[in-house]
Amino acid sequence: MRLGRIASPDGVAFVSIEGDLADPAAMIAREIAEHPFGTPNFTGRSWPLPDVRLLAPILASKVVCIGKNYTDHIAEMTELTGPAAPDPIIFLKPNTAIVGPNVPIRLPANASPVHFEGELAAVVGRPCKDVTAAEAADSILGYTIGNDVSARDQQKADGQWTRAKGHDTFCPVGPWIVTDVDPADLEIRTEVNGEVKQHSRTSLMIHDVGAIVEWISAVMTLLPGDLILTGTPAGVGPIEDGDTVAITIEGIGTLSNPVVRKGKS
């Protein structure tokens, strides 16, 4: 099932998005009553997908991100972030960084370079604390696409990552959540203005989703809707005013966002 969140003429709603990705004009958004967790209850209302606007598919209380989870990305970023670590490296993005498909990534006037980072994102489906890797799959609602946008100069200047990765619009997510995809070995590809910049597979992650959920839930309680960004492969690079970033993950779809430079205040 594809679970999404839309703005329609009747307001904002969670929906099931049905139809063939090869024919988006024929896809339908069926309204879900209340929330998408558990077995969805449908209201009976629906809209053609072209008649509604896709929003970020979930309202997260927090975004937990994994750093240094692909060996090739560690190699390209060693000067800034240091060598590989034996355990997952976690950091947080504020939920105010989340935006949906087609919403502009706004580059701060005082930040350069700003990089894209295409990532598989897991969506937590139920409260979990001290979950083992073997139990992790039962705690996940599904998977979507995330972009861990990062201001590299601020990351280097601060010596930690909160400001550099926490700006408003620095966490595009979408276009929807897929509940029946296996995250173990999915193709991930990032394009900027149609040029491929990242091309990898999730099977190359150092820590898989089960290990990640176990590690995070030993530290903090994960709540329904929380997002876990699982790390990015090599190929990250700068984005500029006027660019478009498109991240495609096999079995999920494509998350696309334009880029604009904020005016100086």
- Catalogue all structural domains in the chain, each as residue range(s) with its CATH number: 2-55 (2.30.30.370), 63-261 (3.90.850.10)
Given a cut of 80, whether residue 79 has pLDDT beyond it is no
Give the span between the Cα atoms of 118 and 161, in whole angstroms.
17
Task: Output helix, strand, coil percentages for the chain, rounded to the nearest 5.
Answer: 20, 40, 40
Given a cut of 50, whether residue 265 has pLDDT beyond it is no
- Hey, what are 199's tokens? 């091309």
Contact (CB, 8 A) for 132 and 252: no
Q: What is the three-class DSSP state of 254?
A: strand
Given a cut of 60, whether residue 264 has pLDDT beyond it is no
| For residues 114-133, average pLDDT | 97
pLDDT of residue 80: 77
| For residues 193-210, average pLDDT | 98
Q: How confident is the model at residue 131 (pLDDT cuts 50, 70, 90)?
A: very high
Top-confidence residue, 85 or 29: 29
pLDDT of residue 262: 82
Q: What is the overall mean pLDDT for the chain? A: 95
Q: What is the DSSP letter of 108?
A: -
The tens digit of pLDDT for each residue in 20-56 reads 988 988 999 999 999 999 899 999 999 999 999 999 9
Our measurement of the distance from residue 42's CA atom to the centroid of its chain's CA atoms, rounded to an integer in Å, reads 26
| For residues 154-181, average pLDDT | 96
